Amino acid sequence: MNINTKLMVLLIFTFLFFLPLRADIIITKDDMILNGKIVEDKKPEYVKFTNKYGTFTIEYKQIKEIYKTGSAEDDKKILNNLAKPGNEEIKKDVKSDKQEKDSLKSGAEKENFILMLDFFSLINFGELSGSLPESEGISLSGELPLNQPFLKNIHVRNIKCEISYFHSENGEKFIKGYNASAGPLWCFSEINNSFNFIISGAVGVGKYSVKSYSEKKEGAKWHLTFCTGPEYKINSIILSPQLKFMYIYDSVAPLYSAGLTLGAGYKF
C-alpha cells in the first residue's frame, strides 16, 4: 500500500468518524464524496440533498454516482469499498469537511439563466378602447439568477428584465414604441419537474410615438406589466402561455391593455 493510498484510507475513516452518517452517498464528477440524505430526486434534472450543512440542489450533470442506502452501516461498507487499494474510481483524496462545505455553497445551488421570447396580443380598454381597440407586440426577457435566502423564502425565483416593442394602430391613429422594464418573478408551486405556475411584475419606461389624426408626438412614458400563467419545461426548453396586463401612463389618456402572451425560451 503506497503513501497516497494510505492517506486516502486515513482521510475516509476520519470522515466516517466525525460525520454523522445518514443513508445516501453522492460522488460528484470531480470525485468529491458527499454523505447525507436525498430528500427529492428529479431525475434527469437534479436531486435535493441534505446533510449537516443544510439542504442543497445538485444537478445530475455534476453527479458521477449515487448510492441510495438504507442505513449508516451500508454507507460505511460503500465508503470502505471505495477506499480499498486498486479501486480506480476515486482519483483524488476525500475532501475535508470545510472543502465540502465551500464546494456545496459555491456550486451545488447554482442558478440557471433563462432567456425567453414572447409574442403578445392584447385588447385595449378604458378611454382609448374606441380609438385603439387592439394592440400587439414582442418582448425578449432574461431571468437574472438569485441566491438570496430572504427572496427564496417569499418565493421570488429570479429578477426578470425585459425589452419590448409595443404597437397599437387603427386607421390614422397609433401608439407604438420600445420599452424596458424589470421586476421580480414568483414561483409559488412546483407540481412536478416539468410544470410551474409563475407570476411576474415589472416597472419600466419607454419611448413612444403617438398619432391622433394629423397630430404626432413622441415622448417617454412609464409603464407597468403583470403576467401570470403556467410554465412547461422539456429538458432545457421552456414554453409558457400567460395572461398579460399592461398599463402605459399618460396624464391625459392612459392606456390599459389585457390579453394573452405565448413565450418560448431556453434554460442555460
User: What is the arithmetic mean of pLDDT over 94-115?
Assistant: 56
Q: Where is pLDDT greater, at 226 or 80?
A: 226
Total residues belonging to the chain = 268
Interatomic CA distance for residues 104 and 109, integer angstroms: 7
Looking at residue 215, its pLDDT comes to 82
Interatomic CA distance for residues 261 and 162, integer angstroms: 14
Looking at residue 15, its pLDDT comes to 45
Interatomic CA distance for residues 118 and 248, integer angstroms: 19
Looking at residue 86, its pLDDT comes to 39
Q: Where is pLDDT greater, at 45 or 260?
A: 260
Task: Count CA atoms closer than 13 A to 62's CA, side-chain side.
Answer: 19
The residue written with cell numbers 460522488 in the block is: 27
Amino acid at 229: G
Please check whether residue 29 is in contact with residue 64, taking contact to mean a CB–CB distance below 8 angstroms.
yes
What does 147-197 look like in DSSP terms, one character per residue?
Answer: --HHHHHTTEEEEEEEEEEEEEEETTEEEEEEEEEEEEEEEEEEEETTEEE
User: Per the structure block, which three cell numbers stand in for 267?
Assistant: 434554460
Out of 7-16, 170-179, 208-217, least confident range: 7-16
Please check whether residue 197 is in contact with residue 212, taking contact to mean a CB–CB distance below 8 angstroms.
no
> pLDDT at residue 125 above 50?
yes
Closest among 194, 254, 196 to 222, alpha carbons compared = 254
> pLDDT at residue 142 above 70?
yes
Q: How confident is the model at residue 221 (pLDDT cuts 50, 70, 90)?
A: very high
155: left (phi over 0), alpha (psi -120 to 50) or beta: left
Please check whether residue 205 is in contact with residue 222, taking contact to mean a CB–CB distance below 8 angstroms.
yes
Q: How confident is the model at residue 75 (pLDDT cuts 50, 70, 90)?
A: low
Q: Where is pLDDT greater, at 92 or 170?
A: 170
Interatomic CA distance for residues 5 and 82, integer angstroms: 11
Ordered by where they begin, the domains of the chain are 3-108 (2.30.30.100), 114-267 (2.40.160.20)
Return the HEC string of 117-130. EEEEEEEEECCCCC
> pLDDT at residue 262 above 60?
yes
> pLDDT at residue 7 above 70?
no
Please check whether residue 24 is in contact with residue 61, taking contact to mean a CB–CB distance below 8 angstroms.
no
Q: Where is pLDDT greater, at 136 or 96?
A: 136
Q: How confident is the model at residue 266 (pLDDT cuts 50, 70, 90)?
A: very high
User: What is the arithmetic mean of pLDDT over 146-155?
Assistant: 74
Interatomic CA distance for residues 259 and 88, integer angstroms: 60
Q: Where is pLDDT greater, at 17 or 255?
A: 255
Ramachandran angles phi, psi of 115, nearest 5°? -115, 130
Q: How confident is the model at residue 157 (pLDDT cuts 50, 70, 90)?
A: confident
User: Per the structure block, which three cell numbers stand in for 133?
Assistant: 381597440
Q: Output the pTM of the full model.
A: 0.60
